[in-house]
Every structure is written in structure tokens, then in C-alpha cells.
Chains A and B, each alone.
Chain A
């Protein structure tokens, strides 16, 4: 048996979400004596927007790093598309169709937006170093195709006006968008977003929310995200995992989570009435 039987559920906008894409089974992650994640299990299903929330230090980013293969849990298993995933290097994980953005923007400041986005196509490049050096035949055809994909994403995220601008000159909100573009251009099946709205103003948050929904809608990309802004999380996600001190204290639709007493106490603040 490699896949748990699950009940399909219907999202707020009427999609039926069934198949499990990734499953975390009893994950425990320790750094020396510190237990960052303690015996957590949950699944991410095909086509959903899955949020991981929790107070500072709850272990959210660690969880995301486990999914992206950057951390290797001491206990527990990660199942992906019905197979147990062995311990992998991050680039191997990326080749399996998982892309991510970072909490602290990790772009190449000196390079243009377009060049940054093109780096996201690395996993799709097959021509040899020599081919690319002389830029002939296959390498050339390949670059044209990669550029076409990059332009599609540039159009999608409405960043045409900054295509040739060096990333270092861009304001924070746009850098975040470029990072999303770089992740998207890899054509991921699963997109991990680490605090995509952190430090943004209301308008930028609204834009980003719309892009996340559109990515999910247009490309059918499964999205797992960490976010602090509760309003955003509740509006965007189909299901939410709530963590506190490395433990899972809630899991379900935004409505279910909102009414979960343990969650209210731990994260949303103790209700006074």
C-alpha cells in the first residue's frame, strides 16, 4: 500500500480535490537538542492551495524546508506521488517538479529580471555546455523555447515594464513578484511559497493574492504556502495546517480552523467572549 485512501472534498469555489500529491508521515526534525518539528503528519493534494500557519518559531519554515528537501527529518517519511521519497539533494527535489520562493528574497541583484527568470529554466536545459558556448543548433532552439516560456510568465505576472531592469533596482514588492516568476517558469507541479506577502503594503498583497489564485487556476499548480497575514491565508487557501511549538494543533478548511479552540488560543489570541 503506498497511497492512503482519502475522502475527496469540495473547495469553496466548487472544485473537487481528491488525489494526494505529497504526504508527510510522522515527521520529526531535530537540531541538536532542539525539536523543531514533532511527529507531524499531513497531506497536500493535487490542485489545492495548502497553507501552513503558526506563531513565530512554530516550525513552519522548517516544514517547508523538509518538503523542499533542504532538511532531512530524523524520523518520518515523505511520500510524493505515491512513492516514498528517499533522502535527496535540493536540486533532485527541484527536478521532481517542486519550486519555491524564499522568505528573504534570493535573486541575483546584478542581473536583469529576464535573466533571473531564465535561471528558473535550468532544470529544463538539455543542451551541453559546449553547445551553449558556441550557441548553435539545439542550444539556440532551446533558448528560444525557454525565452518563450519566460515571456509567458512575464506576461502572466504583468512585469513587462521591468523585463530589462536589474533586479537590484526594483522595490521590494516587485522583487517578490520576480521571485515568483522564477519559480513558475520551472513549470512546477508543487509550488512552495515562504511568506509571499511579508513586508508588503495592502495593494501589493492584493496583487500577490490574485497572482497566487491565478497560478492555481490557470496552471493547476498545487501550492503550499506559509503566511503570517491571517486575512490573506483564510481567503486564499483551501486547507490550513496550524503549527505551534513544532506540533500540529489543527488541520482543515479555513472555517474549521477558525473555530478550532486550540488554534484560537494558540495563534489567533484567546477569545474574550
Chain B
């Protein structure tokens, strides 16, 4: 592998050591090739690499004219738009550090990051972001200039310290001669290990941390990952994920600048699906949720289609499911099956992929959380090369990724090029790579906690390498992984994810840490189960009544037993099979403190609050009466009472596990 065009270029000169140097190379090498596109006013506007370089230079000089210093932090806030990407590179060019922020953050959240980064400049997409920065300015005083892209609604604002980006650019062009030398000097002074960008973590545990990435981090990672997937200058991506997220930075700037491919920005958040289809990206990334939603939409529309179409769809999708992934992986498939798949491609898969915007996808990735095997296989069976990767901001994304031809739903692949991985005794994954971050900004304690002097970084995730294939499998957050009474591994999230892949199950909490066997609470999904009840003429008056219906319990029991069988296949984790379960009489809710606002279960609180129910799961009783306090949306409190049935689920006895237990 390895881009042929790229090899020639690199051979011609020393490989550029900064992003602005890559820009100069691209402007010279692919000057007339499209670098960025954006749909605006109903038309895809595009900029070549030469034009992009000119735009970036104009912004850079404009920033110089406004007094931006080397080492300044420049916040960039807005949806994915070429001008904002250019602003980031312009900041790098003048020796400043771009800090992209999440555009949906509220003003208070933004205040912390703007204050912590010490940004003197904020470049905003539109009025909404400008308003937030102005609000933040009341408490954070070091922000001197606000620049904005979309002037709409900003006419009446005080413009003494506020500038339209278009004006800054115009000023940059006008002042070209005056600042040319200064700009060249600043650019020349940039070094390989200078800071390239600072990205804030989402801060699920405590305050967000500013992850400092050097030019080396970004460029080596971009190089390695581009070669790993054979990315080419002719590739196209759609930039629609938050600019503040490390993945978008690496795809839309790192790899785009390294490889020279084209970054396409959608017209608006609402038109993303249409734009995806119009562009037909060849390299595509989406979190599992996006794939899930698209699949659901397809299925709902197929249910509504005519009988003939529906039957044809079912028949060929069944065939695709059987042979599609093998064909994609290049495994041997009989000629008859190949022919049938070819016909299916003409009739079903091709048009479907076209509708989804995936006709041209050569490399697709999903990451962030576990993806349901069903969903994963659906896309792969259509011939879409969807793969998984595992990464984090501190690693400049890539820790592991799946090579072509070795793709499975339950692993995250092999270590990416240049990445070393070791696994601690407690199962925690550590890595060391060229992408390993420099430091957390102004936070040496956290840096020392996360990264040891030899450069090993703790991921906080527990996992193991699969024997034979060498693929990494993530089982849980390391702090949630425990041990059962017999010493075998307890990984609740691993089992919970498997259960949650069933549309009927919305949420689940698995118990078993320090105990001799596992049990579970289950929340049904009211929409899915309600639909099922309607189709089966089951009447119910409330969530509680539906949750307690014997036939619902039967269905859930069968899901639990299937999951048990699948968990048992894994000798290390077979102790995590669920022996007994109950369906909760209420949905776990953030208002009641049972979940975080981002819908992650809070185990401690649930264990305390429902200790009576956990007791019943372990004392062998068939049902239990309980009273639970609930908080309504308006803050009032109430109480619900229920008698919950407890079911036993069949478990698969595994010889390997008994052996471990006997030790």
C-alpha cells in the first residue's frame, strides 16, 4: 500500500514538517485540483489548492494586521465551513495555535475553555456563536477581537473590536506587501515539535482538558493512517462532524493536507443526507448512531413499499447477508453465488447504496462506541467497506484500526502503524505512538497521571488481544471492570451493549461485581415494544403495565438467553452470563439522577436506590414489591409502586470457564 502519487512527491523533496508547509506543497503540486467545496445558494462552490492557499494567506495577513502574536490561541467556533478550516491553518501559519470549540456548547461551557486557553481572538461562524462569545466576555476579559463569517443579524453590533472575516481577508490582501516578510519569517520559524492545534476533551469526568498536539503528532498520524488505507488525492470526504473533535481535525485537515484530497462541507446540518448523496464520498466516517438511523429509515420505507419490491428486497438482502461480507473480504465464493450477488447489486444493492450516498465509499469507518453486529453486517453485506477503529484525542485518533479483509463487528482491529500497545494486569490498555499528545495545557498533574515518562498513555479502557488474529477487543471502561467471587472477569458494559443491540431493550444495568453470578435490570424501549404490542393486540395503559406483561418478559428472556450463549463463546467473559433478571417499572432517568445527561448509567446511585431489587435478584424470590420516588419534569416528586416479576434465564455452561473457576 501507500499512495503512488504521494511517494513521488515525497521523494522529490524533504517531507514537509508543518501543516502550512503541506499547504505550500499542495498548492504547487495539485494547484488546480479541488481542495475544499461547500454547497451554498444551492450550488457546490469549490476552491482549488492554489485558491485555498491564497485564501489562507489573506486570512493570515489579516490576523497579523490585527496584531496576532506567535503563540496566541485563536478560538474557532462554528459548523464545518471551508473558511473556518482556513482560519485554523491561517492561525498555524502565523505561529498561533488554533483551538476549535464545540459549537453547540452553551456560553458557560465555552467560558471555561476560552478562559483556560487564554484566547485573544475568537473566529465565529455566525451570530449565534458571536452572541455566546460576547456573553463570555463579561467574565473572560482577554478576548480582544471577534471575527465572524456570516454577517447576518450582526449589522447593529458594536464593531470596534469585531470584524467580518471578509474584511479581514480584504485587509490581508491589501496589506500583503507590508506583512509579506513577517509572515514568511513566522512560517519559517515553525518547527516539527511546535504545537499544531489544541483540542479540548469533552470533559465527561470533570473539567475539559486542552490536549496539545504537535505538528509531528498530526503529520505522522496523517501519514501513517493515509498509507494504511491507501488514501489518494482523488478521494472525497464530507466534513460534517464537530470541528472541535479530533477526528474531524485529522480527516479534514491532517489527512486532507497530507494526501491532498477534497473536503466537502454540507450546506446546513439539515441537508447533510442530501449533500452526502450528491458528493458520494469515497472515504467516510460516522458514529454508530448515524448508521443505525439510516438503517432504520431504510427498513421503515421498505415496510411501506409494494409487495413485489419488498419480496425482492428480502430475497436479495438475505443473499447479501450470506455472501456479501465474504465477497468484500475477497474470500472464495461459488460462481453461482457471485452471479446472484451481481444481479442483486444491479437490482437492489446498487440503487440502495446510491440512495444512502455510499455508492463510491472505498473506506468507511465507525468508532466511538460499540456498533450492533446486525447494523455493521448490513452495510458490509451491501459491499460497503465499513471498518472499525479505536482511538482518542490523546493519541491523535488512531490506536487501532481494522485492515481491509480483516473486519469484524466485535474487534477494533490491530495496532495502527507506529503504535505500540501493552495491556496491564487489570486489563487496562496502554499505548505509545508518534501521535501521543504533548501535554494537557496548563495541567502538568493530569499529564503526569495519564502519560508516564516513557510515553505510555493510559486509555482508561479495558480490553485484550484476541488469540490467533491479534485483534484488540475492548470490553469496558477499566474502572467498571471488576472481578466476580470466583476471580473471573466482570465486564458489565460488554454484556449490556450486547443486550442493547436489541431494539426492544433501551437500557440495562448488569450486576455481579464480587458476587458469584450476574444479574440484570432491564428497561424496555417503549416505542419498539409498544409497536410490537399494537401489532399483537396487547392492550396496555402505562409503561409500567407493558413492562410487567408476561409476553414482554418472555421476549426479553429469550434475548437474555441468546446473549448468554454469545457471551459464553468467550472463555474469558463467560462468567458474565445473566442468571436472573427483572424489567424495571420505570425508565432510568437523568432527572432522577440515575443517568448522566449524556445517558450513561450511574451504577453507584442505581445500586443504592434499588438495593431492595438487587437483594431479590440474589435471594431467589419470584417477585418483589417496591416503592420508588420519581421526579417529574417540573421538579415535583411522586411515588410509584409495583410488584416486579423476577425471571431465571438459562445459562450456557462452558468447560473453559469451569476450569478457570477451579483454579
**Which chain A residues have a beta carbon within 8 Å of chain B's beta carbons?**
13-14, 147-148, 151-152, 154-156, 158, 160-161, 163, 210, 213-214, 217-218
Interchain CA distance A213-B41 in the complex, whole Å: 22
Supply 6 A–B pairs (Cβ within 8 Å), ascending by A.
A151-B41, A151-B42, A152-B41, A161-B271, A161-B274, A217-B153
Chain B positions within 8 Å of A152 at CB level: 41
Chain B positions within 8 Å of A151 at CB level: 41-43
Interchain CA distance A217-B271 in the complex, whole Å: 26
B40 within 8 A of A: yes
B301 within 8 A of A: no
Known: A158-B268, A161-B270. A218 touches B156 (CB 8 A): no
Residue pair A148, B268 in contact (C-beta under 8 Å):
no
B267 within 8 A of A: yes
Interchain CA distance A243-B5 in the complex, whole Å: 75
For B37-78 the 0/1 string (1 means CB < 8 A from A) is 000111100000000000000000000000000000000000
Chain A positions within 8 Å of B153 at CB level: 210, 213-214, 217-218
- Identify whether the interface residues of A are mostly helix, strand, loop, or mixed: helix
Known: A160-B268, A161-B271. A155 touches B155 (CB 8 A): no
For B602-641 the 0/1 string (1 means CB < 8 A from A) is 0000000000000000000000000000000000000000
Nearest B-chain residue to A149, judged by Cβ: B41
Residue pair B156, A14 in contact (C-beta under 8 Å):
yes
Of A13, A156, A158, A161, which contacts B156 at CB under 8 A? Answer: A13
B152 within 8 A of A: yes
Nearest A-chain residue to B270, judged by Cβ: A161
Known: A214-B153, A217-B156, A218-B152. A155 touches B274 (CB 8 A): no
The A/B interface has a contact count, at CB < 8 Å, of: 34
Chain A positions within 8 Å of B270 at CB level: 160-161
Q: 5 shortest A-B CB distances, which residue pairs?
A: A161-B270, A151-B41, A151-B42, A161-B271, A160-B267
Residue pair A214, B271 in contact (C-beta under 8 Å):
no
- Identify whether the interface residues of B are mostly helix, strand, loop, or mixed: loop
Chain B positions within 8 Å of A217 at CB level: 153, 155-156
Of B152, B268, B274, which contacts A214 at CB under 8 A? Answer: B152
Interchain CA distance A148-B267 in the complex, whole Å: 15
Chain B positions within 8 Å of A13 at CB level: 156
Chain A positions within 8 Å of B267 at CB level: 160
> For chain B residues 232-287, which have a beta carbon within 8 Å of chain A?
267-268, 270-271, 274
Nearest B-chain residue to A161, judged by Cβ: B270
Interchain CA distance A214-B151 in the complex, whole Å: 11
Interchain CA distance A131-B267 in the complex, whole Å: 33
Nearest B-chain residue to A150, judged by Cβ: B42
Nearest A-chain residue to B41, judged by Cβ: A151
Residue pair A163, B155 in contact (C-beta under 8 Å):
no
Question: What 5 additional pairs, Cβ within 8 angstroms, besides A160-B267, A217-B156, A218-B153?
Answer: A13-B156, A154-B41, A161-B268, A161-B274, A218-B152
Nearest A-chain residue to B39, judged by Cβ: A160
Q: Shortest beta-carbon distance, A154 to chain B, in Å?
A: 7
Residue pair A148, B41 in contact (C-beta under 8 Å):
yes
Chain B positions within 8 Å of A14 at CB level: 156
Nearest B-chain residue to A156, judged by Cβ: B152
Of A147, A148, A160, A218, which contacts B271 at CB under 8 A? Answer: A160
Chain B positions within 8 Å of A158 at CB level: 268
Interchain CA distance A152-B41 in the complex, whole Å: 6
Interchain CA distance A156-B268 in the complex, whole Å: 12
Interchain CA distance A152-B152 in the complex, whole Å: 12
Q: Shortest beta-carbon distance, A16 to chain B, in Å?
A: 13
Chain A positions within 8 Å of B42 at CB level: 147, 151, 154, 160, 163
Q: Shortest beta-carbon distance, A145 to chain B, in Å?
A: 12
Chain A positions within 8 Å of B156 at CB level: 13-14, 217
Interchain CA distance A93-B274 in the complex, whole Å: 39
Chain B positions within 8 Å of A148 at CB level: 41
Residue pair A218, B155 in contact (C-beta under 8 Å):
yes
Interchain CA distance A135-B615 in the complex, whole Å: 80
Q: Shortest beta-carbon distance, B278 to chain A, in Å?
A: 12
Interchain CA distance A13-B158 in the complex, whole Å: 12
Chain A positions within 8 Å of B41 at CB level: 148, 151-152, 154-155
Q: Shortest beta-carbon distance, A204 to chain B, in Å?
A: 15
> For chain B residues 290-348, which have a beta carbon within 8 Å of chain A?
none
Interchain CA distance A208-B156 in the complex, whole Å: 19
Nearest A-chain residue to B42, judged by Cβ: A151
> For chain B residues 149-173, which have a beta carbon within 8 Å of chain A?
152-153, 155-156
Chain B positions within 8 Å of A154 at CB level: 41-42
> For chain B residues 488-527, which have a beta carbon within 8 Å of chain A?
none
Interchain CA distance A154-B43 in the complex, whole Å: 12
Chain A positions within 8 Å of B152 at CB level: 156, 214, 218
Chain A positions within 8 Å of B274 at CB level: 161
Q: Shortest beta-carbon distance, A8 to chain B, in Å?
A: 18
- Residue with the greatest number of chain A CB neighbours at <10 A, chosen from B42, B156, B267, B268: B42
Nearest B-chain residue to A148, judged by Cβ: B41
Q: Shortest beta-carbon distance, B563 to chain A, in Å?
A: 39
Q: Shortest beta-carbon distance, B633 to chain A, in Å?
A: 16
Chain B positions within 8 Å of A214 at CB level: 152-153
Nearest B-chain residue to A218, judged by Cβ: B152
Interchain CA distance A56-B388 in the complex, whole Å: 62
Chain A positions within 8 Å of B155 at CB level: 217-218
Chain B positions within 8 Å of A163 at CB level: 42
Q: Shortest beta-carbon distance, B475 to chain A, in Å?
A: 40
Interchain CA distance A201-B155 in the complex, whole Å: 28
Interchain CA distance A105-B270 in the complex, whole Å: 24
Interchain CA distance A25-B379 in the complex, whole Å: 70
For B469-496 the 0/1 string (1 means CB < 8 A from A) is 0000000000000000000000000000
Interchain CA distance A218-B43 in the complex, whole Å: 23
Nearest B-chain residue to A214, judged by Cβ: B153
Chain B positions within 8 Å of A160 at CB level: 42, 267-268, 270-271
Q: Shortest beta-carbon distance, B128 to chain A, in Å?
A: 10
Interchain CA distance A217-B156 in the complex, whole Å: 8
Interchain CA distance A166-B274 in the complex, whole Å: 16
Interchain CA distance A158-B653 in the complex, whole Å: 59
Interchain CA distance A158-B150 in the complex, whole Å: 13
Interchain CA distance A17-B155 in the complex, whole Å: 17
Q: Shortest beta-carbon distance, A189 to chain B, in Å?
A: 19
Q: Shortest beta-carbon distance, A100 to chain B, in Å?
A: 23
Interchain CA distance A210-B152 in the complex, whole Å: 11
Nearest B-chain residue to A164, judged by Cβ: B274
Interchain CA distance A155-B268 in the complex, whole Å: 9
Interchain CA distance A210-B268 in the complex, whole Å: 18
